[in-house]
Amino acid sequence: MEIISWILIGASAVELIFLLILFWFFSRLKRSESLLNELQANQERLLAKLDINSQLEQELMESFDDRQHELMQLDSQLEERIQELKRLLSEAKGVTRSPGLLREIITSGFKAGRSKTELAKSTNLSIDEVSLILSKNNLY
């Protein structure tokens, strides 16, 4: 074999090696491209999920604000009710200690058969005071 044949065989071998390297490079490039496409698709899905999450968070914050406002209104209504109930309690205490009501309680209780001692305990009066009220009403 002559030198030209060896040069031709060597050049063909080098071309074959280059061709194999080229196929290997393009297969790697194809895999990289598919991975890149997959990453882009994943990124788009992630962005869509983040968008949905931000919308949900916004809705939660709006409903939280609404509930907070409702709670503040309920709190003010409760404070008004507390003041009203305190006023009514003080009025009721005044009414229960009124002489007319005590006289009515004692006379109706005595007519119902309760003793002077029981009436004195229930009205926080002494037995003498109960006797005095009964005697003024001619029930003694």
User: What would the pLDDT profile of 78-133 be if each residue is shown by its tens digit?
Assistant: 999 999 999 988 887 776 667 777 888 888 888 898 888 998 888 888 888 888 88
65 phi and psi, to 5 degrees? -60, -40
**Whole-structure pTM value:** 0.42
The gap between the terminal CA atoms of the chain, to the nearest Å, is 156
Given a contact cutoff of 8 angstroms between Cβ atoms, the answer to whether 133 and 103 are in contact is: yes
Distances (CA, A) of 108 to 97, 102, 119, 138: 16, 10, 10, 13
What's the pLDDT band for 34 if we cut at 50, 70, 90? very high
Has residue 1 got a pLDDT over 70?
no
